[in-house]
Structure 1
Amino acid sequence: MEKAKEIINMTRDEVQAAIEEFPVAILPLGATEQHGHHLPLGVDIFLAEGISRKLSERTGALVLPSQPFGYSWVWRDIPGTVSLQQHHVEAVIKDVAHSVSRYGIKMLVLVNGHDANNASMKYATRELADELDIPVIYLFYPNMEEIMEQNCDSPTWHGMIHACEFETSLMLALKPELVNLSKAVCEYPEKPRLYGKSSISLGNLSKSGVYGDATAASKEKGEKMLELFVSEMEQIILEAYEEVDKELHKDTKKSN
């Protein structure tokens, strides 16, 4: 298994050589927001980065510097939070895609660690389909429900993951030095009838900032889930690139 190719640590010549070998780039997407009292604000960044590095090791794809801010409106009053407007997240994704397409990247992969980025990824990808010739693949914990059901002991809070057994376990697998399990709690706030139908915010529902049972987390669970996610994402990337490679070979034959 080769070392992850993170462009922030590479020279222009190293980047060019990597593109010639496998012209795929990965953009990790995260957020800077609270994750309870036991986890750092960079959870979504660390998880997206960790998965992206493993994908680079397995495929040879380049890893771009992470997008550290997402749409975090619900936590906007908690110290440390930085929130971008949703359309700004979309604009950053599009600008990155346009940038990398200019020098030979033939496919961009978005690896997301923050649920609220999903809408921005979807709409940016749709717009880019009409603007660029390179495909954009967006990934957010594929088969998550099934994998959680097999590996987690606690239920989610109405299908949401935040500072819970799931995220805490993944952090224990990737960044254990930043997890303080002595401060982990279990909290399932009451869900108001108007939640999701008004401006009622997650930031006002949970006292701890945890939605689920963080005390049930373990490194072993995190490692198992991480391997399942990375393996599935690797297959998706390689499958998607097969189509890109076919088109590249078609163009080569035409030019000959």
Structure 2
Amino acid sequence: MAFWLNQLTWPQAEKQIERVPVALVPVGATEQHGPHLPIGTDVFLAEKLAAMVSENTGALVYPSVNFGYSWVWRDRVGTVSLEQPVLQKVLENIVQSVERYGIRLLVFVNGHEANSATLKYAVREIQDKTPVKVLGMFYPGWSKVYEDYMETPTWNGMFHACEFETSMMLAACEELVYMEQAVEEYPRRPLLYGMDNTSIGDLSKSGVYGNPKAATKEKGEKMLEIFARQITQIIIDCGYGQQ
């Protein structure tokens, strides 16, 4: 059973924190994921992973941060993007809130790669100001898992709405995946990409970077289990878990 904070009364939440003083905060984005995946893909995957870790450890799953740094998709329908300093301050405020009533380990379970830099700086800045141990993670060890389970390549080391994310979405929220709409796209990489303000949102017509047609639910289940197991072990190594 996953422990969803918003489904508990405050005395129930207090009791669970006394048992396991760990908070899991899913962090995602609101942005397009091609014609076959929902706009909330990054949030749904972070929530699924957090729920699996909660079942393993007893940690509380807090409400998700639904908006992330999505500058590259800012002109696509449905996208909401926070500026990096704004997102960083939100993450820091979450830590400052939970420290007041006993949380001692907070894990930001990130489902959106572009949030990673902001998470890194938020963890660095807040750690000097709080007794809470703060961790930020994005599919720990994903490159090895990708190599082991994926049949199609990434786009220059980046993935989006591809075999990887689509497989996990088939495992997490199959009813929201429209495989008949899936398309493969590997846009040409401009010479100055990564050196100027070239946006991937301007390169892909479909919004896909990779080949989602190769995705399967079985692959997604295996990968999510590996990621959940790795995060669970990290929490145990930090001295927390079911008591």
TM-score normalised to structure 2 length: 0.97
Offset at 1:85? 0.3
Give CA-to-partner distance per residue, 1:135-177, whole Å, 9 cap, x none.
1011111111111111000000011110000000000000000
CA distance in 2, matches of 1:168, 1:179: 8
* Counterpart residue identity of residue 193, structure 1: L
Alignment partner of 2:113: what SS?
A: coil
* Residue correspondence of structure 1 range 111-150 to structure 2 within 5 A: 111-150=109-148
Number of the residue aligned with 2:183 = 185
Number of the residue aligned with 1:75 = 73
CA distance in 1, matches of 2:81, 2:146: 28
Out of 21, 24, 36, the residue aligned to residue 23 of structure 1 is 21
* Residue correspondence of structure 1 range 215-234 to structure 2 within 5 A: 215-234=213-232
- Matched-pair contact (CA < 8 Å) for 1:28–1:52: yes
Offset at 1:120? 1.0
1:235 lines up with 2:233 in the alignment = yes
- Matched-pair contact (CA < 8 Å) for 1:165–1:212: yes
Give CA-to-partner distance per residue, 1:32-65, whole Å, 9 cap, x none.
0000000000000000000001101110000100
TM-score normalised to structure 1 length: 0.93
1:173 lines up with 2:171 in the alignment = yes
Identity %: 53
Number of the residue aligned with 2:158 = 160
Number of the residue aligned with 1:252 = none
* Residue correspondence of structure 1 range 190-209 to structure 2 within 5 A: 190-209=188-207
* Counterpart residue identity of residue 229, structure 1: F
Q: CA RMSD in A?
A: 0.7
CA distance in 2, matches of 1:35, 1:4: 27
Number of the residue aligned with 1:58 = 56
Structure exhibiting the larger radius of gyration computed from Cα positions: 1
Q: Structure 2 regions of 5+ residues with no counterpart?
A: none
User: Once superposed, which parts of structure 1, at least 4 consecutive aligned residues long, lie more than 3 Å away?
Assistant: none
- Matched-pair contact (CA < 8 Å) for 1:52–1:111: yes
Q: Structure 1 regions of 5+ residues with no counterpart?
A: 243-256
Offset at 1:240? 1.6
Relative contact order higher in (CA < 8 Å, ≥ 6 apart):
2
Alignment partner of 1:191: what SS?
A: coil
Out of 32, 35, 43, the residue aligned to residue 33 of structure 2 is 35
Number of the residue aligned with 1:212 = 210
* Counterpart residue identity of residue 217, structure 1: A
